[in-house]
Structure 1
Amino acid sequence: MALDLFVVLIYAAGMLVLGYYGMRRAKTHEDYLVAGRNLGPSLYMGTMAATVLGGASTVGTVRLGYVHGISGFWLCAALGAGIIALNLFLAKPLLKLKIFTVTQVLEKRYNPMARQASAVIMLADALMIGVTSILAIGTVLQVLFGLPFWVSVLLGGGVVVVYSTIGGMWSLTLTDIVQFVIKTVGLMFILLPICLYRVGGWDQLVAKLPASNFSFTEIGWDTIITYFMIYFFGILIGQDIWQRVFTARDEKVAQYAGTFAGFYCILYGLACALIGMAAHVLLPNLDNVNNAFAAIVKASLPDGIRGLVIAAALAAMMSTASAGLLAASTVLTEDLLPRLRGGKQSSLSINRLFTMLTGIAVLGIALVVNDVISALTLAYNLLVGGMLIPLMGAIFWKRATTSGAIASMTLGFVTALVFMFKDGLDANTPIYYSLAVGLVSFVLVSLLSRRPEASVARAI
């Protein structure tokens, strides 16, 4: 596989070169964190789609397609629907606020204590989003090139850490555009048609799989609803996604280009599910279904072409890994670090330092976690369970109070943890019970505490 390895190395070198160009454009604090708030439609659409579609969306959806058939696309569908809703309904008010983090909305509506409490939850979520894609990178490199898992994680993840650290959001934007093109061509226009050809065409795929594999509800309504509860709402309040919204030149760019990105995510999910279905026909006895993507690439593609598709998969994973990494670093430098420095705001050099340190932490966590969808579910359970209710209340309910928000964050976060430990990461109970407990505590404590004087709802 020397030719494939050469193609992947060329791709990795290209990402580092783009990172260097991003570094040259990131001359200010605002450039580094939100690309100067100046992205047009093409750059915005590409970076938004690339951010959402990462390791869990690619490797995870192929796995879901392998196990559940076409209904495996619902994970990406929930993400795409969240992108559409965010850009159509929330982008306009968010752009007016000129902020850097989700938690700044809570400070405007409540007080600095709410911002600090929510920053801890947001940090955990952003870290795990980075970890899921680094895990996927490691899995692909391990299976295809026979490298030890820890070497795969450090090599693939190391490239992400370097280009994210040196150029921040400008590096992410430039690499995301190239990654968007590569993964679209590699996965949708090369891997999918070749897999269908190897199976014998669509008619043979239908003939060799049970009819249930072509049902859009085979995965189960409970799972579909849970995907929307976790991923749809997670997109609406995730720091990595909001930070992309803040890069838009104006609200029209966000609304039109962002909506297009959402529909692209849904189509991408369908393509990955079909690849998984073809893999089930061609490789029916996989020992580990988590390796379905890497296995079908290795088995069905010739040398050289295989390297291009590997690069496409790495493109999807690296874009989301870098988004989670920069999001975690931004929460640290904008929300938590100033508290320790007496209110002093971070500089460009501080941003770079903490992005590097956060990257090292993400690589360390990736070495001890081994399931991409479970890691992503953990992140979104904590985020939605702890943050959705107080954040939506901050925007839409004038009677909400700081005490209610903090009670909701704390109890929702703890409830999600308890039920994930009790029932497992794949259970539906963590998200349902955490939202229920968060809502009840938010409303009751807000009604029993003093009414706030100011409301960010008026500003929005």
Structure 2
Amino acid sequence: MNLYLAVLVVYTGLLMAVGLWSGRAVGGSKDFFVAGRRLGPGLMCATLLAINIGAGSTVGAAGLGYRDGLAASWWVGSAGIGSLVLAFWIGPRIRRLAASHDLHTVGDFLEFRYGRQVRATVALLLWIGTLAILAAQIMAMGFVLGAVSGLDRWVGSLIGGAVVTIYFTAGGLLTSVMVNTVQLVVLVVGFVVVFPLILDSVGGLSTLMADTSHIEGYWNLWQGGQSGWFYLAMLGPSFIVSPGIIQRVYAARDDRAVQLGVGLNGVALLLFAAAPALLGMMARVVSPGLADEDLNFALPTLLVATLPPLLGALGLAAIFSAEISSADAILFMLATSLSRDLYQRFLNPKADDATVLKVARRAAVAGGLAGTALAILSSSIVDALGIFYTLLAVSLFVPIVVGLFVGRVGRAEALASIVAGVALVAVVQVWVGGAGVGGFTPAMIGLGGALGAAVIAGILTRSRPREVTG
């Protein structure tokens, strides 16, 4: 067993031990779903930052940086901007609502606000999208394990999927928060240590710029290749309404915890945004000629090629940490939605707390197995993430954000926005292969259609105002 693999094996063993130990404190579904609603600013920031810096923000963004240059910074930067909007505008309001009405999931909010039809419609869409992004996170683990050990990607994906499923099933959000704190420490230490060393190994920033100056648009922050500011339309709204993030906001003990915790997470994401893009650009200098289908190997290959084994192992542990923390957040979304939005709401409304907790754990196992299977069959991390984030933006932005502040938005408007947004995205994807139309990305077109459909439905139905304050 080589050093890289040994470090990852020990590290994953530590994460599983922390998860199983903290899982003993779970006394019921409230602990599993919302960690007892007792997260302060520190834990809130730690768990959000750990889940937000995942496969897309490391392996995926570095691959985009390799191909497109500095403009790939918008992938993570857009998440930071969305997080700041959540921290100071959306988050405190929806937390108060969740606390006063005992809401545990985004589905609970949608039913409270619009009724069962909207809850069921969104839940169905999210089950599909959630499996796609879970597969992307597990796939990234497979790439990391494959790069350091020579294992086939499917074997690495199988191992990664098993690790996250085992420790999350033990205790849900309560376990996830504890493990995320460990993961964040490894993530921050790893990137802080290895980034300057890798930059020095390629000759510093001036040499990096000189060696890549011949690539058109490579140092253009606004747009380069297929990356740029337009990621904001897809990723910004997604990080405002993502169920995995919103349900962590539910777990905050007060508004101050939301504002400080989510806000610090947003600032940290903005500060981190350029790092994976620059690492990808360094990888292009060290290993030129990677094909598009091999871009996911850019970051792991860079760490192994430029650093001493022990430091390379630390960097790989940081990446692996990012993938696992994001995967448990996605598994959390899937397990809570299946157990609350499907089982308790439609299949067994009289289920007691112990039964719901048991179903949530079984749903986590089933979701982990399905996500791992999809990871083995898929090929591109960024493509899988793009499907999920676009689906989130067009299906949830209007029902959650507009519904929180505009009392006249009712069931008809919510359903119209969901159907129109998803349908328009599907048409654009089929028509032009997701490339966009007239400078507008599929996410922009879907969001515009969702808002327009809600307005038209409101005019036709004239829904009565509904109070939504907590």
TM-score (norm 2): 0.92
Q: What's 2:221 paired with?
A: 216
Instruction: Tell me the matched-pair count.
Output: 456
Name the aligned partner's letter for residue 305 of structure 1. Answer: L
- Contact kept, 8 Å, 1:192 with 1:274, in 2: the verdict is no
Q: What's 2:208 paired with?
A: 205
Please report how far the alpha carbon of residue 426 of structure 1 lies from its aligned counterpart in structure 2 after TM superposition: 5.2
Q: What's 2:270 paired with?
A: 266
Q: CA RMSD in A?
A: 1.9
Q: What's 1:431 paired with?
A: 443
Deviates more, 1:200-209 or 1:40-49: 200-209
Specify which of 325, 340, 343 is matched with residue 331 of structure 2: 325
Give deviations 1:29-68, integer Å, cap 9, x for gaps. 1111111111122211110111111001101111122122
Give deviations 1:238-264, integer Å, cap 9, x for gaps. 101111112212111111122111111
- Contact kept, 8 Å, 1:329 with 1:351, in 2: the verdict is yes
Q: How does 1:239-278 map to 2 (within 5 A)?
A: 239-278=243-282
Q: What's 1:55 paired with?
A: 55
Deviates more, 1:72-81 or 1:331-340: 331-340
Q: What's 2:388 paired with?
A: 379
Please report how far the alpha carbon of residue 314 of structure 1 lies from its aligned counterpart in structure 2 after TM superposition: 0.5
Please report how far the alpha carbon of residue 425 of structure 1 lies from its aligned counterpart in structure 2 after TM superposition: 4.1
Q: Does 1:400 align with 2:409?
A: yes
Q: What's 1:8 paired with?
A: 8
Q: Does 1:366 align with 2:370?
A: no
Specify which of 291, 294, 297 is matched with residue 291 of structure 1: 297
Specify which of 159, 164, 185 is matched with residue 163 of structure 2: 159
Specify which of 137, 140, 144 is matched with residue 136 of structure 1: 140
- What secondary structure does 2:230 align onto? helix
Specify which of 356, 366, 370 is matched with residue 357 of structure 1: 366
- Contact kept, 8 Å, 2:71 with 2:229, in 1: the verdict is no
Name the aligned partner's letter for residue 214 of structure 1. Answer: W
Q: How does 1:72-151 map to 2 (within 5 A)?
A: 72-97=72-97, 98=99, 99-151=103-155
- What secondary structure does 1:318 align onto? helix
Name stretches of at least 5 consecutive residues in structure 1 with no aligned partner: none
Q: Does 1:410 align with 2:419?
A: yes
- Contact kept, 8 Å, 2:218 with 2:224, in 1: the verdict is no
Identify if the C-alpha distance between structure 1 residues 271 and 429 changes in structure 2 by more than 3 Å, giving closer, same or farther: closer
- Contact kept, 8 Å, 2:79 with 2:266, in 1: the verdict is yes
Q: Does 1:194 align with 2:197?
A: yes
Please report how far the alpha carbon of residue 446 of structure 1 lies from its aligned counterpart in structure 2 after TM superposition: 2.2
- Contact kept, 8 Å, 2:396 with 2:418, in 1: the verdict is yes
Q: What's 1:70 paired with?
A: 70
- What secondary structure does 1:400 align onto? coil
Give deviations 1:162-219, integer Å, cap 9, x for gaps. 11111111211111111111111112x2221121111112222222221743331242
Q: What's 2:234 paired with?
A: 230
- Cα distance in 1 for partners of 2:421, 2:467 equals 23
Identity %: 30
- Cα distance in 2 for partners of 1:171, 1:421 equals 41
Please report how far the alpha carbon of residue 405 of structure 1 lies from its aligned counterpart in structure 2 after TM superposition: 1.4
Please report how far the alpha carbon of residue 424 of structure 1 lies from its aligned counterpart in structure 2 after TM superposition: 2.3
Specify which of 288, 312, 315 is matched with residue 309 of structure 1: 315
Please report how far the alpha carbon of residue 397 of structure 1 lies from its aligned counterpart in structure 2 after TM superposition: 2.1
- Cα distance in 1 for partners of 2:176, 2:435 equals 31
Name the aligned partner's letter for residue 174 of structure 1. Answer: M
Q: What's 1:455 paired with?
A: 467
- Contact kept, 8 Å, 1:122 with 1:238, in 2: the verdict is no
- Cα distance in 2 for partners of 1:364, 1:418 equals 27
Name stretches of at least 5 consecutive residues in structure 2 with no aligned partner: none
- Cα distance in 2 for partners of 1:90, 1:432 equals 21
- Cα distance in 1 for partners of 2:83, 2:155 equals 34
- Contact kept, 8 Å, 2:66 with 2:284, in 1: the verdict is yes
Please report how far the alpha carbon of residue 291 of structure 1 lies from its aligned counterpart in structure 2 after TM superposition: 1.5
Please report how far the alpha carbon of residue 133 of structure 1 lies from its aligned counterpart in structure 2 after TM superposition: 0.9
Please report how far the alpha carbon of residue 453 of structure 1 lies from its aligned counterpart in structure 2 after TM superposition: 5.8
- What secondary structure does 1:451 align onto? coil
Please report how far the alpha carbon of residue 455 of structure 1 lies from its aligned counterpart in structure 2 after TM superposition: 3.3
- Cα distance in 1 for partners of 2:313, 2:347 equals 47
TM-score (norm 1): 0.94
- What secondary structure does 1:214 align onto? coil
Q: How does 1:37-52 map to 2 (within 5 A)?
A: 37-52=37-52
